[in-house]
A and B are shown apart, each in its own frame.
Chain A
């Protein structure tokens, strides 16, 4: 049971804080001989598997490293194009690591703004009067919880679907935000949060929440 990450979005929809607590990254490394039976294609500046799912390597997984050396998008660390490198039989046998690609900070910014809009559309399409936006979004791999304050700040937590106590955690993060970010005289509203005490207290709150504790008054 784990809490994967925390995002804080300001009222314009921009991401002002992001923390990855514990993100399980499935990675598979295998040695291949010529010819490669996976079909790879370039997608979003990364090389992803498009066909040939086998042995834990799924469609959508990206090439993370070749022969132990991390790749740089669609180029190897030396700057050669990976697709060209893999077409040459002289480079085989080659050991390639596949896995879910890590999100770059630009992608996180974009996803946070996307969620900000989806939150608003969820409220507009409501069949009931007076609905809020999306407060909880469920998939089979994670649950996303969102709490919007009266001032329009959204606190978003991604957690394991079986994790409980996230509502209390969201209120606690709001409390930590108001204590260590808002009361910080050097912090400007709606700007990215760069306050050390906010980071420290957030980390300890996440640890307490993961141990399934509840937050008492004044903790």
Chain B
């Protein structure tokens, strides 16, 4: 059980943060293009889900899975999107992503007077805390299963 990578986007589609732990295959395109493709895919999935849904939705799109990985999605009302790719054994991650937002993003970025909203996150403290948080997750194992 493992976490492959994590993206954080803001409401305009700028990728604020990206880190990877166990990624085995690169997308074959440059990082900038990959971020744009990921954001575009999620934007389309959200619009697709809101049209297809037979009932009114509270949380919207939560996750999707393929034969090899599972993508977990969490969006705040301000448009901050946190995406985590894990392997298939991981159950619903919404609370964990919410925790990443509230205990890491809000504490180390929003409350930081030197961090300009809308720029990629430069805070070393944020990066190291995020890394140790993810490594401490119960389903993270450094050697991919």
Contacts and interface: CB of A to CB of B under 8 A. Distances in A.
B129 interface: no
A118 B56 contact: no
A26 B67 CA distance: 34
A128 B87 contact: yes
Interface residues on chain B, size class: 35 or more
Interface string B29-61: 000001001100100110011111111111111
A206 B121 CA distance: 49
Interface residues on chain A, size class: 35 or more
Interface stretch (B9-17, B19-27, B98-106): B19-27
A41 interface: no
A187 B58 CA distance: 42
A216 interface: no
A155 B119 CA distance: 42
Contacts of B20: 127
A96 to B, nearest CB: 18
B54 A118 contact: no
A126 B27 CA distance: 7
Most buried by A among B44, B54, B57, B87: B54
Interface of B: 4-5, 20, 22-25, 27-28, 34, 37-38, 41, 44-45, 48-69, 71, 85, 87
Given A100-B54, A128-B25, A141-B54, 15 more contacts: A58-B56, A60-B56, A100-B53, A100-B55, A111-B48, A122-B66, A127-B24, A127-B69, A130-B68, A131-B67, A131-B68, A132-B67, A136-B65, A138-B64, A141-B55
